[in-house]
Amino acid sequence: MGENTSAILETSRALVPKLGVLSSLLIPIKLSFTYISVIPTMILFAITLRDEVLRWYKAYRSISLPLIAFLFVLFYSSLFGINIGNSMINAAKLSFMVGLIPLYFYLGTKGNSQSILLLLTVGSLVASTHTIVEGAYPNDIGSFSHGPVSEAGQLGIALFVSLALLFSLQIHRKKDLLIDILQSGTVPFFAFTLLGFAYKLSLNAWATGILTTVCGAYLLAHATQLFLSLRGEPTGKNAYSFLTSTALPLLAASLIVNLKRGPWIGVTTGLAILLLITRPKLLLIIIPFVIGLIFGFDPIRERAFSSLEHFFMVGGRSEIWALGGELLARYPLGIGLENALVIRDFSYDIPANLNHFHSNIINIAVELGWLGIAAYLWWMGSVFYEGLRGSSRQTRDLVTITLTCGLISWQVAGLFEYNFGDSEVFIFAMMVMGVLISRLPVTSSNPKI
């Protein structure tokens, strides 16, 4: 009997890395498929490898303590909210999903970080390809399961995941990596972007067809390099070439075509921080590039210049955020998690389907109160601090810095949208956070066990 139990436990332990890595491929594609994979993985992890959770907690207390404080406030604020039962249930769900952090920390420490980054990139490429084709043929291609808001939120992190994967390849080349990306990826980026905007720009059928053929042939030809890299560890020149000339341009084009301003601002901020740390002079190239992009495509220019109008429109963010401030003053301990739909009771101008405040900071402050937002900022700040603290060292880890910039991109975008409450984006971010923490050094503030 004892031998059978040991065999079952051993088999279960062996399944955890396989299912965990698989889940990283599925999250950019389909949420329901991800749940089918990741929930059993987390249960197996909790049963068979629970000591790893304790190891993570003890080794990285500067991050785990703020997170535990945040989880405590989730339940504490529910007791003072307007719907205790609803808040308690959602607090339990959120606490369970936060378990992705120690899970992916464990997977990262066992040598799976590169595979996770690769499959997150592959899944994002599947979604991005659909977005570009749908942009060219909206009447013929159905919408992607995530929707543009969730996909753009994921892409705001996925671009940095792909960059981190490039840094992890550690291929010594004469050119700088970022210069390689600009030289290899600029033309494909504009081609994919133009195809994605073909319908909005009213390109004729011939032009759209030719552009589709060229982009399709280019993508198909370069995809063989990715399949070659999948046959072994993704450390070869094929993977490097595919990422610089195809993957990053396609992901960036899809982000642009989605026309979501929050992720645009997030990626721009994360990229600026990354360049300030690694290659400050490249900002002189990137800034004109971004300005040219805004003025080069009508849909981008219209979306960017309509920001203030949309902010102050009836039922827009200005009114929603003002109501959030009033609720925070009335409920300093919070209204309870997932109770933001009460906002519709305070104004007839608020859209009937709105159940959040279009901002992580405001939504968390209103639902969890002052303690909740303080704990949240402590948690996120600790992750960013630990991820960037080694940026001035000669032996700095560019993978860690880049992943940190991806999470910063997520949070900057979250200033203008509630992506913390978007399951597709949240799970993606927790996976990346777990891998990031697995790469952090254990220091005096993070005592070794």
CB–CB of 407/429 below 8 Å? yes
In angstroms, the CA 324 to CA 339 distance is 12
Higher-pLDDT residue of 176, 391: 176
Q: Is residue 447 part of a domain?
A: no
In the structure encoding, which two tokens stand for residue 319, read together? Answer: 């009114």
User: Which helix (H) or strand (E) covers residue 288, if one does?
Assistant: helix 283-296
Residue 330 in any domain: the answer is yes
Q: What is the pLDDT of residue 171?
A: 59
Confidence (pLDDT) at 173: 55
pLDDT score, position 446: 47
The C-alpha atoms of residue 337 and residue 79 are separated, in whole angstroms, by: 10
| Structural domain includes residue 444 | no
Question: Is residue 446 in some structural domain?
Answer: no
Q: Is residue 151 part of a domain?
A: yes
Residue 445 in domain: no
CA 289 → CA 190, 252, 285, 293, 294, distances in Å?
11, 13, 6, 6, 9
Position 41: which residue type?
T
Compute the distance between CA of residue 443 and CA of residue 449 in angstroms, rounded to an integer: 11
Token pair for residue 392?
């001035």
**pLDDT for the residue 447:** 47
Residue 255 confidence (pLDDT) above 90:
yes
Decide if pLDDT at 83 tops 90: no
- State how many domains the chain has: 1
Specify if 449 maps to a domain: no
Gap between the Cα atoms of 210 and 191, Å rounded: 11
Sign of the Cα torsion 383, 386, 392, 395 reads negative
φ and ψ at 390, to 5 degrees? -95, 10
Q: HSE (CB half, 13 Å, CA atoms) of 417? A: 21
Residue 242, CA distances (Å) to 84, 123, 212, 337, 364 in order? 50, 15, 19, 43, 40
Specify the residue for token string 């910039």: 405
Whether residue 448 has pLDDT greater than 50: no
- Asked if residue 34 is part of any domain, the answer here is yes
The answer, yes or no, to whether residue 449 has pLDDT greater than 50, is no
Output the six-digit token pair for 254: 């899809």
How many angstroms from the chain centroid is the CA of residue 168?
A: 19
Query: What local confidence, expressed as pLDDT, does residue 392 receive?
Result: 56
CA count, 13 A, side-chain hemisphere, 97? 19
Structural domain range at position 137: 2-438
Please give the model's pTM, rounded to 2 decimal places: 0.91
Give 338's pLDDT tier (boundaries 50, 70, 90). confident
Give the single-character DSSP code of 370: H
